[in-house]
Amino acid sequence: MDEEKKAVATAEEGSQDLKRGIAEWQVAFIGLGGVIGSCYFLGVGWTIEVMGPAVFWAFLLVGVIVFGLMISYAELLVNLPRSGSFIAYTNEFLGPTVSTGFGWAFWFNWVCYVPSEAIAVSAALQAITGITSTVAYLAFAIGTMLALTIINCAAVDIFAKIESGLAITKVIIIILFILVGLGIWVGFWGSPQGDLAAYNITEGFKGVGINFPAEMSVFQNWFPHGILIITVMMVVVLVTMQGTEIVGLAAAESKNPEVAVPKACRSVTYRIVALYLAPILLVLLIYPTALADDSTPVFAEVARDYGLTPFFYIFAAIVMVAAFSCGNTGFYGTVRAMYGLSTEGLAPKFLSHLSKNQAPRNAVIFTMAFMWVVLIVGLISEVTGALSDLYGSLLCMSGFTGTLAWVGIIASQKRFRVRLKRNGYEPDKILKARVKPGMAWIPWFALIAQILCLIMLAFATPVEKAYVSKMEALYGESDLAVGDTGGGIVIFCIATAAIVIPMIVYQIQNKRGKVGHLATLHGDEKTFEEAFPPINK
């Protein structure tokens, strides 16, 4: 951002400040809402099937990455407050060209992901109602997208109430499964039935023998398919936790951002890790990994195979709630990202105009139009047979572009510290809510790990082939089919184009003098040089 061109926080049509209609407690739940989607409930079963017990370590590894992301984000949000989401930081510390690529990539991420959640809701409704016709499939998906559109056209406080309620429902259901799973493990309830009965599982305390037999070594128990499987599947696991950055996007519209956002950034990490890892560990203790798949939520499969039928329907129905909630949060997040791009002068000016209720109505309509195009074209392609797996393809492209938002946040925090030192400050002495010296390695680890994951997407298919060949040579078979992760050069190229094309357009427009500079700072916000003027001059 050009620091000599600090814009005034007003525009021709009134205040450019977003309406602060989100309560403090709602911020954290909106963050959880963006993370706990259908990919978690359906994807966990598939990752367990493919990875075996190693899935626990994969999710723990991603938990460390999320922690590195959130402590980096909190440092930026507290010490240099911004209401333009992470795009304001990438613009100031990484430059407008890079920020344009990352910001539009984030927008593209959710433009792909939200329609995928509409597809997931449709699949869940078909399973619940038993109506499996093509007409019902299309009607459920289109109806879901219509509902998401209506909610996000409303005032932000209405969105906050709906989304926080949906997020609370998801958290309650996960806690319910933890209690149910714990009861099964200790032998309070549940009797093995169906395919599960063939495993000779005891009626009482289950111990650790189901997936961790004593005759195998610790390493063989945890990594029955080899440790390389974590590398192959890391992009898939990353997708399941994308959405934590929504906490920062909600900062602009929280009633007390100085208190709410730092608290949410810290707490959301612990809650996510606990809500993810505890259920996964329980599944590994009570359910053979060979029985898990992505046809129904693994939590529902566990309840069904232990004879707890009422819980089967509860855990199956939650997919619909989770998908709608995550799509709702993603719609909100990507609209605010587009608004942030516009206020930074990195997207057309009309997208930063606010309605009378201080909502980014133009950004909503613009984003909504593209989501509808993706959904309709995707549905037509799937119904006609041109595309076999719309849900998986959309998720994979979303995973690549969404990860860039995390890379941009951490890279901005690193650049922030470099500039502090250049101006004569010692970051560890002056910053509030800072990344403590003992944790300084975590953001670096998160940054490097994510870059490696992005590279892996381009070479996913060759790596999968090598992995499958190795497993077949060692064990005579492999649980991973080539192409399962949805990787490949085609998706890599499409996702890369979503980043590079906006950067090229920005450079062209900038040289033509067509790049505008709108109100990037609001209220008491200051540029970096104003907040931390050089002390060595």
Which domains does the chain show, CATH number per domain? 10-531 (1.20.1740.10)
What is the rounded CA–CA span in Å between residue 537 and residue 534? 6
Positive/negative CA dihedral, 76, 81, 85, 89 = negative
Instruction: Decide if pLDDT at 467 tops 50.
Output: no
* 320-341 mean pLDDT: 78
Least confident of 15-24, 70-79, 446-455: 15-24
Residue 186 structure tokens: 């200790």
Instruction: Decide if pLDDT at 5 tops 50.
Output: no
The percent of residues above 70 in pLDDT, for the chain, comes to 72
Instruction: Decide if pLDDT at 466 tops 60.
Output: no
Choice between 338 and 333, residue whose per-residue pLDDT is larger: 338
| Residue 228, number of CB atoms within 10 A of its CB | 15
Looking at the DSSP assignment, which residues form a beta bridge with residue 254? 22
Average pLDDT, the chain: 76
- pLDDT at site 22: 54
What is the rounded CA–CA span in Å between residue 46 and residue 106? 26
- pLDDT at site 258: 62
Least confident of 215-219, 324-328, 419-423: 324-328
Give, in degrees to the nearest 5, the angle at Cα 300 between 26 and 274. 40
Instruction: Decide if pLDDT at 360 tops 70.
Output: yes
Per-residue pLDDT band for 247 (boundaries 50, 70, 90) equals low
What is the rounded CA–CA span in Å between residue 256 and residue 22? 9
Q: What is the pLDDT of residues 158-214, one digit of tens each?
A: 766 777 777 788 888 888 999 999 999 998 898 888 778 888 787 788 888 888 888
Instruction: Decide if pLDDT at 326 tops 70.
Output: yes
CB 249 within 8 A of CB 332: yes
Choice between 346 and 16, residue whose per-residue pLDDT is larger: 346
- pLDDT at site 1: 42
- pLDDT at site 412: 94
DSSP 7: P
CB 352 within 8 A of CB 157: no
Per-residue pLDDT band for 233 (boundaries 50, 70, 90) equals confident
- pLDDT at site 184: 92
Per-residue pLDDT band for 471 (boundaries 50, 70, 90) equals very low
- Helix (H) / strand (E) element for 40: namely helix 38-51
- Helix (H) / strand (E) element for 49: namely helix 38-51
Q: Could you tell me how far CA 23 lies from the centroid of its own chain?
A: 22
Tokens 């993370």 appear where? 35
Instruction: Decide if pLDDT at 255 tops 70.
Output: no
- pLDDT at site 21: 47
What is the rounded CA–CA span in Å between residue 80 and residue 82? 6
Instruction: Decide if pLDDT at 270 tops 50.
Output: yes
In a 13 Å sphere around the CA of 344, the CA atoms on its Cβ side amount to 33
Top mean-pLDDT range of 37-51, 306-320, 394-408, 517-531: 306-320
- Helix (H) / strand (E) element for 10: namely strand 10-11
Per-residue pLDDT band for 8 (boundaries 50, 70, 90) equals very low
Instruction: Decide if pLDDT at 7 tops 70.
Output: no
Q: What is the pLDDT of residues 383-427, one digit of tens each?
A: 776 555 555 566 666 666 777 888 889 999 999 999 999 999 998
CB 532 within 8 A of CB 420: yes
What is the rounded CA–CA span in Å between residue 437 and residue 453? 26
Least confident of 27-36, 70-79, 85-94: 27-36
What is the rounded CA–CA span in Å between residue 96 and residue 100? 6
If 0-12 CB within 10 Å is exposed, 13-18 middle and 19+ buried, where does residue 386 land?
exposed
Contacts made by residues 527-530, CB under 8 angstroms, sequence distance 24+:
527/1, 527/3, 527/6, 527/92, 528/3, 528/80, 528/92, 528/93, 528/416, 528/419, 529/3, 529/423, 530/3, 530/6
Tokens 């139009």 appear where? 369
- pLDDT at site 15: 43
Tokens 């128990």 appear where? 221
Residue 414 structure tokens: 């690193």
Query: How many residues are recorded in the chain?
Result: 537
- pLDDT at site 283: 92
CB 497 within 8 A of CB 503: no
